[in-house]
Structure 1
Amino acid sequence: MPTRPRLIAVAAIALAAAALAGCSSAVTARPIAGGTAVAAPAAHAKPQVVAIGDSIAFGKGVRPDQAWPALVAAQHGWTLTDLAVSGSGFVKPGWNGDTYREQVATALGLHPDYILIAATRNDRAENAALVASSAEELLGELRDTFPRARIIGITTVWGADTPPPTVATVNGIVGKAVTGVGGTFLDIGYPLAGHPELVQADGIHPNAAGERAVAKVIEDRLAPLGVTS
């Protein structure tokens, strides 16, 4: 038969265990009327955005967080997946052989609330009819898969010199494809033209200040449209 001191010790251990169990349940749930408990609410997920583009959207020569898609996403509190590939376009293959086709294929497996897509200088020497057919096809796929997503396109980001007329042709093609699926197409002009201090030594790719200049123009165009986080 257990002695009195031993019974007291057993009781003390049981009370301690009950107290610990009570503390543990208080961390994972909150009490409600009636004595039941519900799990604490999950944090609200941020809107998701994907970027489809070229080396400038990728941020060649700058940190990933300094590229214009990252700056725009940060401004709105979006979570960014940047799919851009250097050298790529709707028709022109990038450094790894991928065009916008492969970027869109990856995007189709995600769940974006916003889709950023850039016209690119890389398509300026390609067959205009091929660029048009690719743009229409890919934008159609994005819209069919994500009927509620907001598609935002921008005109080509050019360097410090004057762009050739073929760039305007590409912009017109991409703009028609974006607006054709109910997207928003922003004419950002050429914020780097005449500003060599905003581009890297190649005269093409914006430096960190240049990427900020591009992002600012995009934000200026978005502000009247009511695009929010």
Structure 2
Amino acid sequence: MTRRRFVLCCALVLIVTGVVGTTLWARAGARPDGCAFVESRADARAAVVTGSGPDVLVVGDSYSVGAGLRPDQSWPVRLSGRVRVDGFSGSGFSRHASACGDQSYATRIRGSLRPGTRLVVVEGGLNDYDQPVAELRSGFDRLVRELHGRRLLVVGPPPAPARPAGTVAAVDATLARLAVATGTPYLSMVEVRLTYQADRLHPDAAGQRVFGDAVAAHIRTLLAAG
């Protein structure tokens, strides 16, 4: 192989590697070392159980994990109850939202529920922004079926600057319609203004607090209404 061909091959490898790494970061909130890192972050967050009282399960994406922050800085710590988190960066309602296989909420929740779980909070939608509406609908319906009537609150996506505003609004509107159709309480976050990390996708510590407090306030209102 000539020196020129060798240099060209190396350049091509670097370009492909960069594209893959950037795609995984944008999709999953992960580092370029991929799904193994995402899984380790998910495990670390699952090990952090906060509060006391009724069992509350949070299922979500990188926001619930606290991507870029410590696990104890993620928004679920703002909730009342004994809060457990099943978070996986890059996941969503759709089967193909994640770059790491089927990490959809309906699929994961089977292993996360406990007999005594009093409330399930499912947060997401940012990673469904480029998925077909039919896939979003299917994932939402599967989630509701998996819960078998348990109390559920769905929390929609916020207006993260890294996502096209129109796509976030479209996901929010679809989730709101599905929630009405199934009688599921829904909290829209499109009007909530968060502060973000440098990637313009993940909230910083202050943004996580604002997000968590908004969810906590809605839960209190929901429970007060019976």
Quick check: TM above 0.5? yes
- The answer on 1:126 being equivalent to 2:123 is no
Q: How many correspondences in the alignment?
A: 172
**Map of 1:56-71 to 2, 5 A cutoff?**
56-71=63-78
The code of the aligned residue for 1:55 comes to: S
CA RMSD of aligned residues (A): 2.5
The code of the aligned residue for 1:124 comes to: Y
**Map of 1:72-87 to 2, 5 A cutoff?**
72=79, 76=80, 78-87=81-90
**Map of 1:1-229 to 2, 5 A cutoff?**
46-72=53-79, 76=80, 78-91=81-94, 92-94=96-98, 96-97=100-101, 98-109=103-114, 111-142=116-147, 144=148, 147=149, 149-160=150-161, 163-192=164-193, 198-227=195-224
Provide the C-alpha distance between the structure 2 equivalents of 1:54 and 1:47, rounded to a whole number of angstroms. Answer: 23
Scaled by the length of structure 2, the TM-score of the pair is 0.66
Q: Name the CA shift for 1:101/1:167 in 2 (closer, same or farther; >3 Å).
A: same
What SS does the corresponding residue of 1:52 show, helix, strand or coil?
strand
Offset at 1:132? 0.6
Provide the C-alpha distance between the structure 2 equivalents of 1:205 and 1:141, rounded to a whole number of angstroms. Answer: 28
The code of the aligned residue for 2:202 comes to: H
Offset at 1:163? 4.3
Write out per-residue CA displacement over residues 149-199 of structure 1, whole angstroms, 9 at most, x where no aligned residue: 321111202324674222222222323333444331112334336xxxx21
Offset at 1:53? 1.2
Q: Name the CA shift for 1:167/1:107 in 2 (closer, same or farther; >3 Å).
A: same
Provide the C-alpha distance between the structure 1 equivalents of 2:157 and 2:121, rounded to a whole number of angstroms. Answer: 13
Q: Name the CA shift for 1:179/1:132 in 2 (closer, same or farther; >3 Å).
A: same
What SS does the corresponding residue of 1:51 show, helix, strand or coil?
strand
Offset at 1:109? 5.0
Q: Name the CA shift for 1:206/1:110 in 2 (closer, same or farther; >3 Å).
A: farther
The code of the aligned residue for 1:87 comes to: G
**Does structure 1 retain, via aligned residues, the 8 Å contact 2:92–2:127?**
yes
Provide the C-alpha distance between the structure 1 equivalents of 2:209 and 2:173, rounded to a whole number of angstroms. Answer: 25
Provide the C-alpha distance between the structure 1 equivalents of 2:129 and 2:91, rounded to a whole number of angstroms. Answer: 11
Q: Where does the alignment leave 5 or more consecutive residues of structure 1 unmatched?
A: 1-44
Offset at 1:95? 5.2
Q: Where does the alignment leave 5 or more consecutive residues of structure 2 unmatched?
A: 1-51
Offset at 1:126? 0.6
Provide the C-alpha distance between the structure 2 equivalents of 1:167 and 1:96, rounded to a whole number of angstroms. Answer: 22
Provide the C-alpha distance between the structure 2 equivalents of 1:153 and 1:206, rounded to a whole number of angstroms. Answer: 19
What SS does the corresponding residue of 1:49 show, helix, strand or coil?
strand
Offset at 1:47? 0.5
Q: Name the CA shift for 1:104/1:175 in 2 (closer, same or farther; >3 Å).
A: farther
Aligned-pair identity in percent equals 27
The code of the aligned residue for 1:141 comes to: E
Provide the C-alpha distance between the structure 1 equivalents of 2:132 and 2:141, rounded to a whole number of angstroms. Answer: 14
